[in-house]
Chains A and B, each alone.
Chain A
Amino acid sequence: MAYVYYPGCSLKGTGVSYEKSLLATFKRLNIPLQELDDWNCCGATSYMSISEEQALLLSARNLALASENDGDIIAPCSACYMILNRTANILRDDRTLRQKIVEKLKNVGLEHLNLSVRVRHPLDVLVNDVGLDTIRSAVVNKLTGLRVFPYYGCLIVRPGNGFDHPTYPTSLDRLLEALGCEVIDHPLKTRCCGGSLTGTLEEVGVRLVYILLKEAKKRGAHTLATLCALCQFNLDVYQEKAARKYNEAFDFPILFFTQLVAFALGANPRDIGLEHHFVPAEQVFEMVR
C-alpha cells in the first residue's frame, strides 16, 4: 500500500529529526511514502479561531491535493493530524459549508475534493496496517534493556479521532514492546506537555514539562518516546529550564518514536536526525549497543 506524506511545517523545521527517522523507517519497511506535492499549512489552531472558513479552506486544499492520489494521508505532526481530520469531519457533516469550500477550491483549479480520503498518524499505520508481527520480525537491533516512557500527548487520541483509547492508549506501548524495549506503564500518557504555553506563559509550561520529566525519572526511564513535534520540542528544549527551576537534575534524551523504530529496523544512526537534539540523544543508542 502506498501512502501520501503530509509533513506540515514542523517536520521541515523543529521536527526535522522526526521527518528523517520517519522516512528511514518506511524505507526499511519498503513502504513507498510520497510527499504531497505543493502542500500548504494545515490551518493550525490559531487560524481556526480567527476565521474558521478560511482555516478550513486552507486545510481542505491539502485534502483536495491528496484527492488526486490514491492512498491514505500520513500526517505525523499531531496538530496537522487533528486539524486535517477535523476539517474532513466538518465538511462531511456540513453540506452548505462544503459547497462553499468546493467552489473556492475550483477557483484555484482544484476540481476534486475526496472527503473519504483517510488522514492517518504513522503510529496508527505502523501498528494497524504494517502490524506488530511484521515489525517484530523486521527488527535487527533489538532494543533490549532500554526503559522507555511512552508519551502520547493530548491530540492524537482525542475522542473522535479514534484509533486508540482516548484516556489510556496502548498502541505506542505495544509497538515499543515489539522492538524489545522495556515499556514503562504510567498514568500520564495523555497529559499536557505544555503545548504553546512554554512560549506564552512560560512558568506554567515549564511546570507541565517538569511533571512529565519527574515522573519518567521516578519510574526509572532511560528515555521518553514522543510522537508529536511540539511535545518533543518542549520536553527537550525546556528540560534545562525545568531542571534549574525545580532544582532537579535531568538528562533525558527525548526521542521521536520513529527514531527508535528506524534504529531497531537497522537504519544508520547517522540518518535518523540525532544531531538535532538539545539533550544529546546518541547515548540512548550507545546504551543498547
Chain B
Amino acid sequence: MKQGNGTVPRIGVYVCHCGTNIAGNVDVKAVVDFASKLPGVVVAREYKYMCSDPGQSLIKNDIREKNLNRVIVASCSPHLHEHTFRHATLEGGQNPYLFHMVNIREQVSWVTEDKMSATEKAKALVEAAVYRVRYHEALETKEVPVNPDVLIIGGGIAGITAALTLANAGKKVYLVERDYSIGGHMAKFDKTFPTLDCASCILTPKMTAVKDHPNIHLFTYSEILEIDGYVGNFTARILKKPRYVIEDRCIGCYVCVEHCVYKTPKFPSEFDEGLGLRKPVFIPFPQAVPLIAAIDPETCIEFKSHRCKKTCQEACRDLVGRDAIDFTQREEVVEVQVGAIIVATGFKTFDARRIPEYGYGRYPNVYTSLEIERLVNSSGPTGGEIVMRDGRKPRRVGIIHCVGSRDRNFNPWCSRVCCMYSLKLAHLVRERTGAEVYNFYIDIRTPGKGYEEFYEKLMQEGVHFIRGKVAEVTDWTITPEETGKLVIRVEDSLVGVVRRIPVDMVILSVGLEPRDDAEEVRRQLNISCSSEGWFLERHPKLAPVSTFTDGIFIAGACQGPKDIPDTVAQAGAAAAEALALIDRGSVELEPNIAVIDEQKCSGCHVCIALCPYSAIAFNEEKNVAVINEALCKGCGVCVGTCPSKAITQQLFTDEELLAEIEGVLLV
C-alpha cells in the first residue's frame, strides 16, 4: 500500500444504519468488521442514525480520544449530510476536508434487494475511501462577501410576494417579468377558492406596492439573457424587449389606444385568452402594473407596411403632450449584480387540443377553465356575464376534471388545483346563470383548510357530481332533448352505466405543466429539473425552496403544481432563505477548485480557452495561467486537458482518485 501525504493516517470509519434504510439491505456489522481490519483504521463503528447528535458525538469524541486524523462516514448522499459530518469533524478538532463520505444508501441499499451484493458493494466503497483519505490534506476555505441585492425572475404572485418581503426588509430587489404587466395567472382570476374573495382586491394592491416600492426595480416585458457568477456574486444580463412606448413618458391614459387607426379592437387579447379583442396599440388590462401602453409589431400596420398614419403617435404628442410613442425603439440589455436569485417562473396550462375527443377548438362551446376565469371576471370581455360564443346563456354546464392530469397518455401527476377551481367555477356559474352544473371527476381532492367544507357547500347548492372519466364530448345527438347540445359521454362508475349528459357548455379543467422553456431556464441557472420539468428542490421536505446551486431559490408553481396559499407560503420561505444568506454577509467557497503549479505551467493557454466559467486568466509577466478561485467551479476540464499536468483539483487529485480505484478493486 502506498503511503499517504506524510502523516501516519489514523482513520475512523462510521457506518450508518439510517434506521432500516441501509441496515435493511446491507449487513452493517459485516461492513464494520471488514473496515476495522483495513490498514490505518483505528476505529470502526456502527450507529443507527449517524447524523443525529449522538452519532456526531461519536466522531467528535473519537477524534479527541483516539487522535483520529481522518474520518469516513458511510451513509447517505453527500448532498444530504456531507456538510453535517464535515462540521462534526471540525468540532472534533480536525480540518473538515480530512473527512470523506461514502454513499451506501442511494447508491447501494436503495437500488438493490440483493443483500449479499449490497454488503459487498458497501465494503468495496468503504475500502476505496480508506485508501483515498490517506491522501487528503487540510484545506482552507475562502470567504467572499455577499452582494445584498436580489434578483427575482417572474412577476406572478410568488415573485410579487418574495419581492415585497425582501424590499420591506430593506433589500434592493430586481423583479423581472416576461409579460407587459406583473400579476401572472392570478391577475386573470375573478374569485379565489375556498373563500371566494376577489382575486383583484387581494392582488392589485400588492402589484401597486411593487411599483411604488423604492427598493424594487421592476423590469417588465423583459427576459433573462444570461446568469453568471456564483453564490453571493451573480451577474444577470436582462433583455428589455421594445414595447415601442417610452416607459417613463407614458401615463396610461389610453389616448393612443382611442386614436389608433383601427376604430374598433380587432385582434384577440392575450390577457382575455382570446375571448376579448384588442387593438395593435393596447394596455393589457386596466389594472396592469405598470400601466403603460405597448404596440404589438405583429398586428400594427406601421410595422407591416410603414404606411400607417400613426394617429396614435400624433395623439400622444399633440393631445397629451407626452410624445411617448417611439416606433424606432430597440431592445436593450441591462446588467445587474446580485447576491441571490429567486426563480418564480410559474406554470402553463395543459393544451386541451391534445385530447381531440374533448372537442376543444372544434366545438365553440367547449372552453378551458382559464377562458371561463375571464368570462366570469367582472373586468373580463363580457363584464362578468356568462354568455357562450354563440351569444346564448348556458342552461346546462358540464365541467370535466383532470384534463391532461392523472393520465398516462399525458401527465401522470395530479395538478392539485383543478378540483378546487372546478368547484369554484361550478359555484360561480350556477350563481350567475342558475344553470344545472355537472362535475365529472375521477376523485375529488380537497385537502386544504376550508376546502372539504367548500365541497360540502357545493353539494348542498345542488351541483351534480358524476364519478367517471369522460370518454368524449360529441355533437352526435340521439334524442330530442339532446338536439342542439353537446353530449358528454361518460361511464358513471358509481352507478355502473354509460351515460349521455346533454349540456350547452363544456368547461375543461386543464392541468398544470412546466413552462415550455423550463429546460432552457434550468440550464441558464445551472439548477436541476425533475423528469417532468419542474424545478427540483434541494430536499422535498427540509429544503423545499433551495436548489442544488447555492444562492438560487425557487418558489411557486415552477417547482410543482400548487395553489395560491402554498405559492405565497413558498415565496415567503424563499425570501427568508435569501435574507439569511444576505445577512450572513459572506459565504464560504468550497475548496474543490483547480490549482496551477506555476513551476510546471508552460503558458500554452489551452486551459484558458476551455474553461466554461472564464475563470482562468494569463499572467504575462510570469508566463503562467492563473485561476480565479472565486470563479472556479471545480469542473475539472482544465485539469484533464493540461498537457504539462500542471493543474490539480483539490479533493480530486490523481493520487486520491487512483487510491480510490485501487481500494474498490482490492475487495
Contacts and interface: CB of A to CB of B under 8 A. Distances in A.
Whether both chains belong to one complex is answered with yes
Interface of A: 165, 167-168, 185-188, 215
Interface stretch (B127-135, B470-478, B561-569, B589-597): B470-478
B345 to A, nearest CB: 31
B476 A186 contact: yes
A168 B356 contact: yes
Contacts of B357: 167-168, 187
A186 B475 CA distance: 8
Interface in B314-370: 356-357, 359, 362
A212 to B, nearest CB: 10
Size category, B interface: under 10
Contact of A165 (B356, B474, B476): B356
Nearest to B486: A187
Contacts of A187: 357, 359, 472, 474-476
A168 B360 CA distance: 12
A167 B472 contact: yes
Contacts of B362: 185
Contacts of A186: 475-476
Given A167-B357, A187-B359, 4 more contacts: A168-B356, A185-B362, A187-B472, A187-B476
Interface string B462-486: 0000000000101110000000000
B650 to A, nearest CB: 51
B476 A167 contact: no
A185 B361 CA distance: 13
Nearest to B362: A185
A267 to B, nearest CB: 33
A228 to B, nearest CB: 20
6 contacts: A165-B356, A167-B356, A186-B475, A187-B359, A187-B474, A188-B476
Among B357, B362, B472, find the residue whose CB has the most chain A CB atoms closer than 10 A: B357
B386 to A, nearest CB: 25
Interface string B171-204: 0000000000000000000000000000000000
Among B472, B474, B476, find the residue whose CB has the most chain A CB atoms closer than 10 A: B476
B367 to A, nearest CB: 18
Nearest to A186: B476
Contacts of B472: 167, 187
Interface in B516-530: none
The 8 residue pairs across chains A and B that have the minimum distance between CB atoms: A168-B356, A187-B474, A167-B357, A187-B476, A188-B476, A215-B476, A168-B357, A165-B356
A215 B474 CA distance: 12
Contacts of A215: 476
A214 to B, nearest CB: 9
Nearest to A212: B476
Nearest to B471: A167
B471 to A, nearest CB: 9
Interface in B618-635: none
Interface in B223-248: none
A198 B476 CA distance: 22
A81 B472 CA distance: 27
Interface string B355-396: 011010010000000000000000000000000000000000
Contacts of A167: 356-357, 472
A166 B359 CA distance: 14
Nearest to B489: A187
A187 B359 CA distance: 9
Nearest to B354: A165
Contacts of B359: 187
Contacts of A168: 356-357
A188 B475 CA distance: 10
B46 to A, nearest CB: 46
Contacts of B356: 165, 167-168
A133 to B, nearest CB: 25
B636 to A, nearest CB: 42
A202 B356 CA distance: 32
B62 to A, nearest CB: 56
Contacts of A188: 476
Nearest to B355: A167
Among B356, B359, B362, B474, find the residue whose CB has the most chain A CB atoms closer than 10 A: B356
B408 to A, nearest CB: 11
Nearest to A159: B409
B503 to A, nearest CB: 15
A218 to B, nearest CB: 9
Contacts of A165: 356
A167 B472 CA distance: 9
A188 B476 CA distance: 8
A186 B477 CA distance: 11
A183 to B, nearest CB: 13
